[in-house]
Amino acid sequence: MRHTFTLANGVEIPAVGFGTYKAADNQDEAVISEAIRQGYRHLDTAAFYFNEEAVGKAVRESGIPREEFFITSKVWRDNLGYESTYREFEASLQKLGTDYLDLYLMHWPRPVDMNAEWKDLDAETWKALEELYRAGKIRAIGVSNFLPHHLNNLMDRTGIVPLVNQLEFHPGYIQKAAVDFSQRLGIQVEAWSPIGRARVLKEPLLLELADKYQVSQAQICVRFALQCGVLPLPKSSSPERMRQNLDVFDFTIEDDDMHRLMTLPQIGWSGEHPDRERVPVDE
């Protein structure tokens, strides 16, 4: 992929990644292999996805050199802490069959127990990430689902500003405060669920703009993220939709249409919030 973002440390990252969470029921390896065939070189996984072995196998069997891939994994929220982060990182390397990661993230700022003390745990976890980064085991380190107060806790107590913050982001849920705060600090925002849930794709404005620009609703969502300076991580099990989600660099959404997308009422939210229990939501 020729389109990239450049992180604050100079590392280039493909501008559209492939999200592997629940990529397909019991067919993760086949779907990831197909994504590679369709041109994806940026693969986003995590310990909690339980598919790191499938990602590693798909990369090895592709015949493409490891250095042409950008692989991300994450330390799960129940393993926050200095020593447990080291253990989880080594386990991820073993499952992926690689001796380094391109990007390693703290998956959530709080453990599952919302009453647990999180500030010390985050600082200890980040210390481990900083050491692994300085040792050359990780090319870039970052966080996921961190809001401004979570980021401030890290920056007040540690040395390296996160290079990436991965957030839920799509038309109808743009988390403007968290995105703006991250971008002002030079943190690259990534979008998980950039296409949102089913209701986003049925939104009349998305249908209107897809017809106007002669693309799919999903392509509007992916392009919207890119024009906001956000790196999208779409997922799909369909080869055609995989291709479409990469084919977003030959059209531009006009300013007025961007503003309309930015000001949609909330739709498609997953129900996840880093400081709250998950809220059940309809599709």
DSSP annotation of 138 reads: B
Contact by Cβ (8 Å): 147, 274: yes
State how far the alpha carbon of 197 is from the alpha carbons of 169, 194, 225, 234, 269, in Å. Answer: 11, 9, 15, 12, 7
Q: In whole angstroms, give the CA distance from residue 28 to residue 126.
A: 30
* CA-based nearest residue to 39, from 70, 77, 9: 70
Q: Which residues have C-beta within 8 Å of that of residue 144, sequence separation ≥ 6?
A: 74, 105, 106, 107, 108, 165, 166, 167, 192
**Tokens (6 digits) for 16:** 């559209």
For the beta carbon of residue 25, count every other beta carbon within 10 angstroms. 8
**Tokens (6 digits) for 68:** 């042409």
Positions marked active-site: 49
Q: In whole angstroms, give the CA distance from residue 252 to residue 37.
A: 26
Contact by Cβ (8 Å): 226, 216: no
Contact by Cβ (8 Å): 50, 79: no
Secondary structure E strands in 145-213: 164-168, 188-192
